[in-house]
Structure 1
Amino acid sequence: MKALLLALALLPGPLAAQEATATFGAGETEFVMRSTTDIAIIRPVMERFAALNPELAIRYEQWGSNDLFELSRDDCAAGQGQADAVLSSAVQQMVWLVNAACALPYSSELTEALPGSRRWRDELWGVTTEPAVIAYNTELLDAADVPRSRFALLDALRARPELHRNRIATYDIAESGLGYLFAYSDSLEATTFGALLESFSRVEAVATCCSAEIISGVAEGRYLIAYNVLGSYVASAGAPQVGMILPEDYTLVLSRGYMIPKGAGERAAASRLLDFLLGPEGQALLAGAGLVTDMDSDQTGLASSARRFIPLSPVLLVARDPGRRELLLQFWSDSFSRAPLP
């Protein structure tokens, strides 16, 4: 039986496919960027970089995080691949790729200026600043009823379970590398983690794949509250009926990881893009797209002690330990219903 299971595990799975593609610029040199960031959100950033580099024709491929990781891993193992740059929110997967010698090194004044938590081995760099928030429908919840911490969310679910039944949403951590990262981080950080999952189970919370689906569900009133979604996607959605809270007990802060794959054909252009993203103009454009948030207490009202930056470091390798991953996935799946099919 073990031999059969091993053989089945080694069989090739269905080919991954990008979710969407876009082209920026009309130069003669093709530059391929693969990313988990929605095209609609990052478009102004890529348009400006293309304008500054007219020799490039940038093929931007939007991927789900798990598919992007698997493709990047397979390209690395084969010693080939088409991507010149990879940008992902599932930074535990990016740390794994760098640790597996799948990235090229680069250093500049801008990369050296990054804090240590946003730079690892000069092969992985954090280019954004995005808090994980509690989103809510402003038309269906009074301001006084909005939970501003995990403890308050627990109290709300216990006090009014019928109000919240099937109307709490978050990422499906089996389908979303980002969702898995947030759940793993919660499991280490929060004393409320087990109790919160138990409450999610009681109100039949919905776990689904994607930021856009979750936020549109909140905007439409299908969900009252979304837990641990990226504030950048809430901000960029432009939906006035969707508010967001930075949890007061602690707020996870993500920085998307940028990597130059070792098989990149346009390494110089990939380095220029990295410096552009980290430079003043790139950071301003990313902020305009909702991908950079000033986490200073004066701006957010969040105490500095409540900020939890997810570091780009070997610490995240533990998140991909097969045993730990299996346990967390099982614990999570027992707590969530799936989103109904359309």
Structure 2
Amino acid sequence: MRRIATALAVMVLMTCPAAAFETEEEEVFAARGAEARSVSVLSTTDTDVLRPAIEAFQTAHPDTALRYVVASSQEVFAALDRDGAAFDLVISSAMDLQMKLANDGFAADYTSPQTGRLPQWARWRDQIFAFAQESVVLIASRRGLQGLPVPQTRRDLTELLRDHPEVFRGRIGTYDPRASGAGYLFATQEARQSDSFWRLAEVAGGLSPRLYSSSLDMIRDLKAGRLALAYNVLGSYAGPRLESDADGVVVEFADFTLTLLRTGFIPANAVNPEGGGAFLDFLLSAAGQALIRDRAGLPPIDEAALSARPHLRPIRLDAGLLVYLDQLKREAFLEEWSSAMSQK
């Protein structure tokens, strides 16, 4: 009877309606054992990307069911900040929004042998933990370039767009930072690094760029021939999808390439924080890191890789991420960005 009651409780939890925030995907990975414990994960990472990790985790924990909910980074933030939704682990590519949630008290403290092995730059106050480091790249279509050279720096790209507007008008894609938390993070961090961001934005803005809220949508439209270039795309998504495509090319800019940390934390209101910690530990383990590299295409945390490639510039996981989340600074930045993007 106890097993039946436990199973029924898990079924109720797993099938309860979503909170007010908008979701993109939801999948329940049923427990494989007789007992049924549940872990609920809210994430910006597509289900199919982490599916191999989830399945391997359940092989090691056969009596654990896992509910995996996918939402945009802004909706993930709203789920906790506005709606008080209860999840056991929150994963996001928007480092600034993760930092704000933790800074505002939404993240619980957590320590384990796996988190203790992370380098200092890949964790924050025993609350936020990075499990992947991902380049933010340019993708290009060789056909779309019409024989023009593939740009290797932001200066190259700016000059290419300025000198050949007829090739690129309406055929440049980039994130809309008003709609995408990750897009806002990339734009603000790049603007902090170099004035070349605004020069490029003004030139691209005069060519009727297409704005997106997803790297996958930009990759799809480039492969379909609707885009010649897409700027600030997640390399972990672009690489596996373009490596067998003779037309597509992925560029890490030689002047500097932003490197995102994909992070997770256990919410302070988690129903099963031990389960959330167990899944986080699996992602951070040697087996989990190898699996997300080989099966998910997510580059694992690797200090040596950063040292060997000095053009990679990791976004710092610290309170500096909160600067552009100030409402007045956000409004001013988006106003300047919108002005640049609406050049005619």
CA contact (8 A) 1:254 1:310 kept: yes
3-state SS of the aligned residue for 1:128?
Answer: strand
Match of 2:166 among 154, 159, 162: 162
Q: Residues 142-181 of structure 1: CA distance to partner in whole angstroms, max 9, x if unpaired?
A: 7861111101001101110110101110111011100000
Q: Residues 29-59 of structure 1: CA distance to partner in whole angstroms, max 9, x if unpaired?
A: 2211000001121111111112211111101
Give 1:215 deviation, angstroms: 0.5
CA-based RMSD of the aligned residues comes to 2.1
Q: Report which stretch shifted further, 325-334 or 21-30.
A: 21-30
1:23 is matched with 28
1:57 is matched with 65
1:9 is matched with none
C-alpha distance in structure 1 between counterparts of 2:80 and 2:214, whole Å? 21
2:105 is matched with 101
1:4 is matched with none
- Corresponding position: 1:317 with 2:322: yes
3-state SS of the aligned residue for 1:127?
Answer: strand
1:133 is matched with 137
1:199 is matched with 203
C-alpha distance in structure 2 between counterparts of 1:150 and 1:119, whole Å? 30
Aligned residue runs from structure 1 range 106-125, under 5 A: 106-125=110-129
C-alpha distance in structure 2 between counterparts of 1:40 and 1:256, whole Å? 16
CA contact (8 A) 1:135 1:242 kept: yes
3-state SS of the aligned residue for 2:233?
Answer: strand
CA contact (8 A) 1:131 1:231 kept: yes
C-alpha distance in structure 2 between counterparts of 1:136 and 1:296, whole Å? 28
Match of 1:308 among 313, 318, 323: 313
2:340 is matched with 335
1:45 is matched with 53
The number of aligned residues is 318
C-alpha distance in structure 2 between counterparts of 1:71 and 1:130, whole Å? 25
1:292 is matched with 299
Give 1:257 deviation, angstroms: 1.5
3-state SS of the aligned residue for 2:136?
Answer: strand
CA contact (8 A) 1:117 1:310 kept: no
Gaps of 5+ in 1: 1-13, 338-342
1:7 is matched with none
Aligned residue runs from structure 1 range 274-293, under 5 A: 274-288=280-294, 289-292=296-299
CA contact (8 A) 1:33 1:86 kept: yes
CA contact (8 A) 1:234 1:242 kept: no
3-state SS of the aligned residue for 2:139?
Answer: strand
TM-score, structure 1 normalization:
0.88
C-alpha distance in structure 2 between counterparts of 1:188 and 1:87, whole Å? 25
Sort the Cα spacing of 1:293 and 1:85 in 2 relative to 1 into closer, same or farther, 3 A: closer
C-alpha distance in structure 1 between counterparts of 2:184 and 2:214, whole Å? 12
1:259 is matched with 265
Q: Share of identical aligned residues, percent? A: 34
C-alpha distance in structure 2 between counterparts of 1:136 and 1:115, whole Å? 34
Sort the Cα spacing of 1:89 and 1:209 in 2 relative to 1 into closer, same or farther, 3 A: same
TM-score, structure 2 normalization:
0.87
